[in-house]
Amino acid sequence: MPRALFGAVVGGAFGFGLVVALRAISGLEIFQTEQTGYPHLIVPAITAPFGFLIGLGAFTYWFSWAAGSPTVPDDHSDHGAHSWRDYFKFNTDHKVIGIQYMVTTLFFYLCGGLIAMLMRAELAQPGTQIIDPGVFNGLFSTHAALMLFVFIIPVFAGIANYVLPLMIGAPDMAFPRLNALSFWMLPIAGLLFIASFVVPGGAFDAGWTGYAPLSTGAPLGQSFFNLGVQFAGASSIATALNFLVTIITMRAPGMSFWRMPLLVWANFSTSLLVVSATPFIAGAQFMVLFDRALHTNFFDHLAGGDVVSYQHIFWFYSHPAVYIMVLPGFGIISEVISSHARKPIFGYRLMALALLGIVVLGFTVWAHHMFVAGMFSWLRVPVMVTTVLIAVPTGIKVFSWLATLFKGVIHLKSTAMLFALGFIVTFVIGGISGVMLGMVPIDIHTSDTYFVVAHFHMVLFGGSVFTVFAGLYHWFPKFTGRMYDEKLGRVHFWLTFAGMLGTFMPMHWLGMTGMPRRVADYAAEFAGWNLVVTISAFVLGVAQLIFIYNMAVSWKWGPRAGANPWRARTIEWLVSSPPPIFNFDEIPRVVGGPYEFGVPGARHAILAGEQEVTEVRESEPAVARE
């Protein structure tokens, strides 16, 4: 780490020096401080992160190989973490990387959440109290960028990084070095977003959507957004490649695709979305950065550019992005509900196909974010049709989870299960408002209002974040070898559930009756419900501190947990908690489906050294299908 920080300084100095030298040689003004310029700050913002990564050792093996030096294959001796210092290194163990991701993303969650508390404090009453409008615009922009790019998308990568290789019986991910590099690009992205607060002109303030031409003409902070997105995007794409190759090639013998747990299916589907869609946002942000710093004219209508095209390119990624933000969560919910209700997932095959259906349909709906944008009006109708159709595979999943509870043995004391059940309620509400927004005549009125804010928070918080909590509580014993405090967990759940409903339900009403979004102030008629929202948001915020306390204290001092406290069936539960450094002494053999609860004698996987049991033939299940 010290070498990495030194590398960052050297890299930054190199970039700065490069710009200064080139500009001096060319006879240009050395420190160009046009609003959209500052090349002497933008170039270091690119070279310092690379210096950091080089100093960290991220590229050492590849540099040696490229230079033709003899390369020593990684002996993975750095696997495992023995002290907190190990988490600040370039470590290729997927379990260490998983923890690094989870802790880093939760840190950014708290940053984004703090920003939200500031916003709600200002919005408690009409008029300007503590945050003036310029700062406010920066706050909601950074809130969203942090939450989306460096919390919700990568936290799922973190959970899956830890769990997935174990779940498929693999010793690690297919590309451990790439995995570590993916992780380290993430704090860089978050720091670039946060750094925008201290550069001339302040934080980027054109929203996380960064529409041109507001973004192309904005101060320097916007360029930091453009760059941060590149690092977050590169991290995401590399991880997705890693997951795809790992899932396709490294499943344990006997694990056909139709015997994969749904978490694996979910990450497989998500990774397909990530690799194909993310390049589009990289492109859109590069185009804005180039318009700003290099005077290209992609979005400058006076020079022949096309303003609306930004939105097409941006949303072509950002709509699939929202499925990237929720599909892994669907996988988590399947794992949690089946284990904590002691039942096979109802309709497993259709559940897997529904994930793929969402992937395909997800690419056809982007223009529903643009129904009032002034694009060609004929496009609205086919996009409306595909948009409402996405409710079908999503509905299939909700109904299947409900059916999985049917005739189960439902453990309501488990916090993971509570979040999974709460998720069903809040996600259905969010899904319903989504269908409403998909209907053009309703969207014409509600677009860019608090109704939209309500919808996406219901599906992102009540949806994705609840699944994150469900997953973290469910696998906490596996990660740490200790149990968390279940009572505190329940308090966290109920306060979060109530706080969440109190914060976001009134927003449906506010939007419908005329309150636009992204406003630092509003008409007096909206004051009452805004106060209710703010108070609920404060409750919601405080509840998250209970979670952090529980996680931190239990990790250090919680009672020891066994290998399988939930008596679940997937492979990660067959090894110790935490798992051995190299996962398995010998790769396990998969002999049945992952959710055969209630089937006497059924096994999903056998570890080496166990007695062979009669393989349960799936064509003759112990209990006939209803």
Partner 1 sequence: MPRATIIRLAAAILVLTVVTSLAMVQVDWHGTAASEEAAPIDTLLEIVIVLSSLVFAIVMVMLGYSLWRWRAQPGDESDGEPIHGNTRLEILWTAIPTVIVLFLAAWSWFVIRDIEAREPEFMIVNVTGQQFAWKFQYPQQRGEAFEVPAAFESTELRVPTGVQIEFKLHSLDVLHSFWVPEWRIKKDAVPGITTRAVVTPNREGRYALVCAELCGLGHSTMRAPVFADSPEEWARWVAEQTGTKPRGGSAAGGS
> By CB under 8 A, what part of segment 496-515 binds partner 1?
509, 512-514
Q: Indicate whether 131 belongs to the interface with partner 1 (CB under 8 A).
A: no
- Inter-residue contact 170 to 252 (CB < 8 Å): yes
**Amino acid identity at 46:** I
Within 10 A of 29 (CB to CB), how many other CB atoms are there? 10
Q: Indicate whether 295 belongs to the interface with partner 1 (CB under 8 A).
A: no
Tracing tokens 């880093």 back to the chain, one arrives at: 104
CA 68, CA 102: separation in Å to the nearest integer? 36
Pick 231 or 526: Cβ nearer partner 1: 526
**Amino acid identity at 41:** L
**Contacts of partner 1 in 132-161 (CB under 8 A):** 133-134, 137
**Among 409, 545, 552, 613, which residue interacts with partner 1 (rule: CB under 8 A)?**
409
Q: Indicate whether 565 belongs to the interface with partner 1 (CB under 8 A).
A: no
Query: Residue 88: which H helix or E strand, with range?
Result: none
HSE-up of residue 69 (Cα within 13 Å, Cβ side): 9
Q: Indicate whether 403 belongs to the interface with partner 1 (CB under 8 A).
A: yes
Long-range contacts formed by 579-585: CB under 8 A, 24+ apart: 579/95, 579/166, 579/478, 581/79, 581/80, 581/93, 582/76, 582/79, 582/171, 582/172, 583/165, 583/166, 583/170, 583/171, 583/172, 584/169, 584/171, 584/608, 585/609
**Among 47, 270, 318, 447, which residue interacts with partner 1 (rule: CB under 8 A)?**
447
Pick 20 or 373: Cβ nearer partner 1: 373
CA 216, CA 228: separation in Å to the nearest integer? 16
Q: Indicate whether 306 belongs to the interface with partner 1 (CB under 8 A).
A: yes
Least separation in angstroms between CB 215 and partner 1: 9
Long-range contacts formed by 584-589: CB under 8 A, 24+ apart: 584/169, 584/171, 584/608, 585/609, 587/169, 587/170, 587/171, 587/252, 587/253, 588/169, 588/252, 589/252, 589/253, 589/254
Q: Indicate whether 548 belongs to the interface with partner 1 (CB under 8 A).
A: no
Q: Indicate whether 298 belongs to the interface with partner 1 (CB under 8 A).
A: no
Pick 172 or 205: Cβ nearer partner 1: 205
Q: Indicate whether 419 belongs to the interface with partner 1 (CB under 8 A).
A: no
Window of 101-109, 225-233, 257-265, 373-381 that interacts with partner 1 by CB under 8 A:
373-381
Least separation in angstroms between CB 81 and partner 1: 34
Q: Indicate whether 130 belongs to the interface with partner 1 (CB under 8 A).
A: no
Window of 68-76, 102-110, 175-183, 385-393 that interacts with partner 1 by CB under 8 A:
385-393
CA 334, CA 345: separation in Å to the nearest integer? 7
**Contacts of partner 1 in 571-610 (CB under 8 A):** 596-599
**Among 410, 491, 531, 532, which residue interacts with partner 1 (rule: CB under 8 A)?**
410
Pick 101 or 193: Cβ nearer partner 1: 193
Least separation in angstroms between CB 161 and partner 1: 30
Q: Indicate whether 563 belongs to the interface with partner 1 (CB under 8 A).
A: no
Q: Indicate whether 66 belongs to the interface with partner 1 (CB under 8 A).
A: no
Q: Indicate whether 373 belongs to the interface with partner 1 (CB under 8 A).
A: yes
**Contacts of partner 1 in 164-223 (CB under 8 A):** 205-207, 211, 213-214, 217
CA 538, CA 503: separation in Å to the nearest integer? 9
Sign of the torsion formed by the C-alpha atoms of 440, 442, 445 and 446: negative
ω before 213 within 30° of 0 (cis)?
Answer: yes
Pick 95 or 508: Cβ nearer partner 1: 508
Least separation in angstroms between CB 216 and partner 1: 9
Residue 177: which of 67, 280, 71 has the closest Cα? 71
**Contacts of partner 1 in 466-495 (CB under 8 A):** none
For residue 217, what are the CA distances in angstroms to 157, 290, 304, 513?
A: 34, 12, 16, 32
**Contacts of partner 1 in 234-293 (CB under 8 A):** none
Pick 190 or 201: Cβ nearer partner 1: 201
Least separation in angstroms between CB 2 and partner 1: 42
**Contacts of partner 1 in 327-366 (CB under 8 A):** 341-344, 346-350
CA dihedral 448, 453, 455, 459 (to 10 degrees): 130
Q: Indicate whether 536 belongs to the interface with partner 1 (CB under 8 A).
A: no
Q: Find residue 449's DSSP bridge partners.
A: 516
Q: With CB under 8 A, what is the number of residues at the site for partner 1? A: 92
Please provide the distance, in angstroms rounded to a whole number, between the alpha carbons at the two ends of the chain: 58
Q: Indicate whether 301 belongs to the interface with partner 1 (CB under 8 A).
A: yes
**Among 188, 384, 468, 507, which residue interacts with partner 1 (rule: CB under 8 A)?**
384
- Inter-residue contact 554 to 482 (CB < 8 Å): yes
Least separation in angstroms between CB 622 and partner 1: 7
Least separation in angstroms between CB 517 and partner 1: 8
∠ CA 411-412-416, rounded to 5°: 90
Pick 103 or 388: Cβ nearer partner 1: 388
The 8-class DSSP code of residue 124 comes to T
- DSSP, collapsed to helix, strand or coil, labels residue 516 as strand
Q: Indicate whether 78 belongs to the interface with partner 1 (CB under 8 A).
A: no
Pick 8 or 123: Cβ nearer partner 1: 123
